[in-house]
Structure 1
Amino acid sequence: MATYPFTFKRILKYPRTVTIVGLMAIGVLVFSKCSDKKDENPGVIENASGERFAGSASCAGCHKDIFDHHLKTAHYLTSRPATAEYIKGSFEAGKNAYFFNASVVVEMEKRSNGFYQVEYFRDQQKKAKRFDIVVGSGTMGQSYLYWSDHKLFQLPITYFTAADTWSNSPGFPDKVVFNRVITSRCLECHATYAKTISDPGIEPERFDSTRLILGVDCEKCHGPAAKHVDFQSAHPNEKKGQFIINPASLSRQQNLDLCASCHGGRLQKTQPSFSFKVGDKLSDFYIVDTTAPKPENIDVHGNQYALMRASKCFRMTQTLTCNTCHNTHQREKGQTALFSQRCMECHNNGHGSDCKLTQSLGKVITSNCIDCHMPLQPSKAIAVRLQGEEQPVAAMIRSHYVSIYPDETKRILLELKKEPRKK
């Protein structure tokens, strides 16, 4: 067969060939440019408004004590990388399995490249997915997420703190499920920022894992801080913080809206996730329920704001906010005496109503206002199925409806009577 040299002259004899070759050359050039394109700002994370995050570690230079304490809070620990430091459950043989039935089991396994939840059917591996993100500080429990094609999914097994064991994840059916999708709205309350890279309305959403700030950290409540850090570093003698938001300077409703964005029930967003920022008006970003539901119809999980608003304590003052009782920079979980002191700042010395039981029991009763007036109650929304249990076990969560609970009062009084009186 004769062969012909591939020359420019020969190509010019065939105009159609010239067109095709030209288009191919352009395509190759464009593709090579795209494939060679680098991330113009590697490591830089900006919100939708173009405000740049500094990372909470940058706060430590000037606010080391606050920063160090914040690292121990449930807010900061609400999402972390899935490492041995943060995963609470056991991987020890005999403690690392959850049986759905005699044939199906999910085992928690440590492998060379991470921790895995592995589904077995009659001792044959069916599916294995890695722990990538821990969700939950471990105060109540932890759930776990894994990455797949820039999408996030929840793993089927959860750690339940009250029983110190693995359980079926809350709301999951009584079978192995690996496909529960995690949305940007989920991340909005368990992370400081997550960049969505899928088009609006496309489900499941896809995220840029390199532009994800885990934990609810400093910049969630003070705003993106890169401009602040740059300015203060260049002007170390400037004592007034610039380009940063101090929630203490905001109005009562602005402070309440900030907390309510995650503790105000199941809000339906009207703007993209992570659009709402500290200082914004909640109703500009979410459909807000303006009705006043009865406290008994409000779940103790996730809607502390509505319970607080229904409380007489809240209604009788113009200043009470979440921050009146909570120092978000400190881990204060379980310190009932500390919280009771904050109650007494209003409920003594002629300010507000005094506890009537102080007349018979003295000041000892004022060391635990919390268990009497804000008892632990079972959540209707968060319940897990423990190994071998037919009925789900509800998480016990502190009610934020401050009221009189006669049964709780009786229980506390019985406990006080058992304790020896201090002379």
Structure 2
Amino acid sequence: MMQSGWTVGAGYSRRSVQAVLAALLVGGCNESASSRGPSGSAAAPPDSVEARFANVATPTAYVGDSSCASCHAAAAASYAQHSMARSFHAWTPDSRVEQAMAEALRNAPTGYAYRVVDSAGSLWQVETRPGDAARPAHELRRRIDYVMGSGRLARTYFTAENGRLFQLPLTWYADHGWDFSPGYEVNNARFSRLLPDRCIACHSSYPVPAPHLEGKYPVLRPGIGCERCHGPGAAHVQARRAAPQGASVAGDSAFDPTIVNPRRLPLERRLDVCEQCHVHTSVAVLRPGRHAFDFTPARQLAAQYAYYKNGGDIDLVSHADRLRQSACFRATAASKAPLECASCHNPHAPPPTRATRNQPCLACHTPASLASRFPVAASKRAHAAQSDCVSCHMPVVKERTVPHGTFSDHWIRVPGAAAVATPSTSVTAGPIDPYFERDRSGAEAPLYRAMGTVVFASLAANGKLFDDAASALQPLLADNTTHPQAFFLLGVAHESRGRAADAVAAFERARALGDERPELLRALARAKLQLGDDDEARDLYVQALAQQPALAWIRAEYADALHRNGDLAGAAREYRAALAEQPSLAAASFNLGLVLLAQRQTAPAAEALLEAVRQEPAYGTALAALVAVEGSDKKVRRAAAFPSPVAAVQPAPAATAFGVQVAAPDRVHFTNTPPQGYVLVSTPDGALQLAVPTNGGGTVTWDLRTGAGRVLAPGLYRAELQWRGAPSPAPSTWFAVLRTP
């Protein structure tokens, strides 16, 4: 299930947050997992456990479940009924479990309403918002193309846009029906929440990722398959096909070195097989040389990720972690048959029934021993052989991040004996706590904690945490030559706080250490633009797009840079290319309209602007606040209101509303502002351009210059009011700058 959403403050770019997460959860390697094999280029040599298995110790290809089923038909047929096998798949009418919606669900903060409709054999999620005198009615619809989740708890949905997958606002909950997807009721991402590699890595067996591009997969396999727990199977299949006809397949009684049998692993490595997907922390930092798709059974999970939970939080982060806290686990851990995940969850069999799930308990707590232990009749009846041990000793609790979600708490205990479990990891001061011991006391523990804090700060939009993380990272990286990712994150922390020169230094250090990912080049380009190095910034964008032309939002930023420097033809070309790849980039469509207006191509400009407002109705306010600026990026000669080519859809702001008006000859007014506040001017992705103090409030005059002293570049902008006690969401409006010669 997707984790809850995050919010981004005005001081930090939403796209930059996605860049941070991509950098950490994808890492620096984006080769095909199926062709490259499990090991990353910089991976450590195999340890003694990994070396026992050829499919882990050496690069091995994945072959898919059909190759397994040809010999293991019974196990494959049984596994097909398991929830894991149905964890991700294309939506089809035949597999439908959802009922029709009785009425639409409304997202109160945004005013959008959502419903699910049938049309031509497909299921669609539809977004609407009623119109009024100031704005037309709005409707967008997206087809349900993929399902994530088996349906036992819930099914959440994804739509494909040119092959790239985005989560939809509504999820089907088995015990409730339709409701908002996790996080959407707090921060409505509408149709823009991209499917991260970290999610699909646990819901689909090793898809082939597009290089440097999350959410788009040339090969996308349904469900979690055999090789998720046994590792890539090519070596095993090759050995079996080469064996003499009639030769037996190695079973439990014989060690087969060509493929991982989890039973042959030490207990903690067996738990790692499960925890590769069943750890739910707020931050996950990849180790050097690792990426989201290269963990294989037999490896240490701690060598793949550094996990961090919220500081001071002793809530569930892993079922296996809760199990470790149980007396049953501790008492049997050193035995030949310890109580572990597979004791109750046999992946080769359907889920246990209410009766059969008691069997692992009864292996130790026999009816005879229970009868002698509980002489009181009521207790004796409660502990009869047919009683349900799990419901009492592993109580069902609410899952905080998933609406209508519950789970069995895997800390096995006597009811009422204790209020909470003793945390298996020590709780430390600070915003995040490490999950693995090596990240609490290891040599690189301070470095990983500081890296994790940058990610946590990005999720929390917390400026102080960015400062704290930068202060911690800087000395740790003084002589470091092995962590380009840490330098990247240091640059992100600096950029988020407006320290462009420090950000450039950190990004360039990451590049010198071998980081040439498009995300790094793009981050460096943005910082260069802030310093006025426009030519170098454009070159960096070109280099980033040469690696992955389908990075539509980076291409749109490149078009912004061309637009800023007066290359209208080049900007129009790049905006159109970005929109061809990702048509839902509403800001790119709006900025294309501005370029066409500057070229006096009124009809195509109106078409682009209309499409932008269709995708994002809030942009309609900018049509009433088009500011035509004559001059250069150093001087405004004249500013004037520009008539909208699509006046019919622009809202008429109320006289008392916060708004933007042109104040000739070279100024802009922000109207109806509060005293002792700020007007924050940001790009559509949230990158702050400047903060204008409102002083005594009322009408505030602005000279169209940014915090760096340059004239605001042409494009679409959001103005938001902030003051002590401001409501959430804060009052905001949109305006656009049209640069004329």
Q: Structure 2 length as normaliser, TM-score?
A: 0.42
**SS of 2:270's equivalent?**
helix
Label 1:129 to 1:289 Cα distance change in 2 as closer, same or farther (>3 A): closer
Following the alignment from structure 2 to structure 1, what is the Cα–Cα distance between the partners of residues 104 and 413?
Answer: 42
Q: How does 1:174-193 map to 2 (within 5 A)?
A: 175=188, 177-193=190-206
- Do the aligned residues in 2 keep the contact of 1:46 with 1:53 (CA within 8 Å)? no
Partner of 1:338: 356
Following the alignment from structure 1 to structure 2, what is the Cα–Cα distance between the partners of residues 54 and 359?
Answer: 58
Do structure 1's residue 265 and structure 2's residue 273 form an aligned pair? no
Partner of 1:168: 180
**SS of 2:320's equivalent?**
helix
Partner of 1:303: 318
**SS of 2:328's equivalent?**
helix
Following the alignment from structure 1 to structure 2, what is the Cα–Cα distance between the partners of residues 192 and 84?
Answer: 23
Label 1:287 to 1:358 Cα distance change in 2 as closer, same or farther (>3 A): farther
Q: Cα deviations across residues 195-232 of structure 1 (Å, max 9, x unaligned)?
A: 23233xxxx62432x32222111111111223322332
Q: How does 1:119-138 map to 2 (within 5 A)?
A: 119-122=127-130, 126-138=139-151
Deviation of the 1:148 alpha carbon? 2.5
**SS of 1:382's equivalent?**
coil
Following the alignment from structure 1 to structure 2, what is the Cα–Cα distance between the partners of residues 160 and 99?
Answer: 17
Do structure 1's residue 379 and structure 2's residue 388 form an aligned pair? no
Q: Cα deviations across residues 310-332 of structure 1 (Å, max 9, x unaligned)?
A: 11111122233211222111121
Following the alignment from structure 1 to structure 2, what is the Cα–Cα distance between the partners of residues 232 and 246?
Answer: 15
Q: How does 1:104-119 map to 2 (within 5 A)?
A: 104-112=112-120, 114-119=122-127
Q: How does 1:21-420 map to 2 (within 5 A)?
A: 47-49=37-39, 50-90=59-99, 92=100, 95=102, 97-100=104-107, 104-112=112-120, 114-122=122-130, 126-163=139-176, 165-173=177-185, 175=188, 177-199=190-212, 205-208=214-217, 210-235=218-243, 236-241=245-250, 243-266=258-281, 267-270=284-287, 271-288=290-307, 297-299=314-316, 303-317=318-332, 318=334, 319-332=338-351, 335-348=353-366, 356-357=373-374, 360=377, 361=380, 364=384, 367-383=387-403, 394-406=404-416
Label 1:404 to 1:227 Cα distance change in 2 as closer, same or farther (>3 A): same
**SS of 2:207's equivalent?**
strand
- Do the aligned residues in 2 keep the contact of 1:382 with 1:395 (CA within 8 Å)? yes
- Do the aligned residues in 2 keep the contact of 1:80 with 1:86 (CA within 8 Å)? no
- Do the aligned residues in 1 keep the contact of 2:195 with 2:215 (CA within 8 Å)? no
- Do the aligned residues in 2 keep the contact of 1:97 with 1:166 (CA within 8 Å)? no
Let me know the Cα RMSD of the aligned residues. 3.2
Following the alignment from structure 1 to structure 2, what is the Cα–Cα distance between the partners of residues 153 and 327?
Answer: 32
Counterpart of 1:166, as a letter, is: W
Label 1:349 to 1:106 Cα distance change in 2 as closer, same or farther (>3 A): closer
- Do the aligned residues in 2 keep the contact of 1:184 with 1:194 (CA within 8 Å)? no
**SS of 1:152's equivalent?**
strand
Deviation of the 1:68 alpha carbon? 1.1
Label 1:260 to 1:355 Cα distance change in 2 as closer, same or farther (>3 A): farther
- Do the aligned residues in 1 keep the contact of 2:156 with 2:170 (CA within 8 Å)? yes
Deviation of the 1:240 alpha carbon? 3.6
**SS of 2:348's equivalent?**
coil
Label 1:120 to 1:67 Cα distance change in 2 as closer, same or farther (>3 A): same
- Do the aligned residues in 2 keep the contact of 1:192 with 1:213 (CA within 8 Å)? yes
- Do the aligned residues in 2 keep the contact of 1:133 with 1:145 (CA within 8 Å)? yes
Following the alignment from structure 1 to structure 2, what is the Cα–Cα distance between the partners of residues 98 and 156?
Answer: 10
Following the alignment from structure 2 to structure 1, what is the Cα–Cα distance between the partners of residues 396 and 60?
Answer: 40
- Do the aligned residues in 1 keep the contact of 2:93 with 2:121 (CA within 8 Å)? no
**SS of 1:138's equivalent?**
coil
Following the alignment from structure 1 to structure 2, what is the Cα–Cα distance between the partners of residues 382 and 103?
Answer: 22
Following the alignment from structure 1 to structure 2, what is the Cα–Cα distance between the partners of residues 284 and 84?
Answer: 42
Deviation of the 1:358 alpha carbon? 6.9
Label 1:185 to 1:177 Cα distance change in 2 as closer, same or farther (>3 A): same
Q: Structure 2: which 5+ residue stretches go unaligned?
A: 1-33, 40-58, 132-136, 251-255, 418-741
Following the alignment from structure 1 to structure 2, what is the Cα–Cα distance between the partners of residues 290 and 240?
Answer: 43
Counterpart of 1:371, as a letter, is: S
Q: Cα deviations across residues 265-297 of structure 1 (Å, max 9, x unaligned)?
A: 324332210111011011110115699x99x92
Q: Structure 1 length as normaliser, TM-score?
A: 0.72
- Paired positions, count: 341
Name the stretch that deviates more: 59-68 or 72-81: 59-68
Deviation of the 1:377 alpha carbon? 0.7
Following the alignment from structure 1 to structure 2, what is the Cα–Cα distance between the partners of residues 354 and 184?
Answer: 51
Label 1:282 to 1:193 Cα distance change in 2 as closer, same or farther (>3 A): same
**SS of 1:257's equivalent?**
helix
- Do the aligned residues in 2 keep the contact of 1:298 with 1:307 (CA within 8 Å)? no
**SS of 1:110's equivalent?**
strand
Following the alignment from structure 1 to structure 2, what is the Cα–Cα distance between the partners of residues 191 and 132?
Answer: 15
Following the alignment from structure 1 to structure 2, what is the Cα–Cα distance between the partners of residues 288 and 358?
Answer: 46
Deviation of the 1:122 alpha carbon? 3.1
Looking at secondary structure, tell me which structure has more helix per residue.
Answer: 2
Counterpart of 2:181, as a letter, is: S
**SS of 1:120's equivalent?**
strand
Following the alignment from structure 2 to structure 1, what is the Cα–Cα distance between the partners of residues 347 and 72?
Answer: 14
Following the alignment from structure 2 to structure 1, what is the Cα–Cα distance between the partners of residues 194 and 129?
Answer: 24
- Do the aligned residues in 2 keep the contact of 1:282 with 1:288 (CA within 8 Å)? no
Q: Percent identity?
A: 25
**SS of 1:287's equivalent?**
strand
Deviation of the 1:337 alpha carbon? 2.0
Label 1:96 to 1:54 Cα distance change in 2 as closer, same or farther (>3 A): farther
Following the alignment from structure 2 to structure 1, what is the Cα–Cα distance between the partners of residues 190 and 309?
Answer: 36
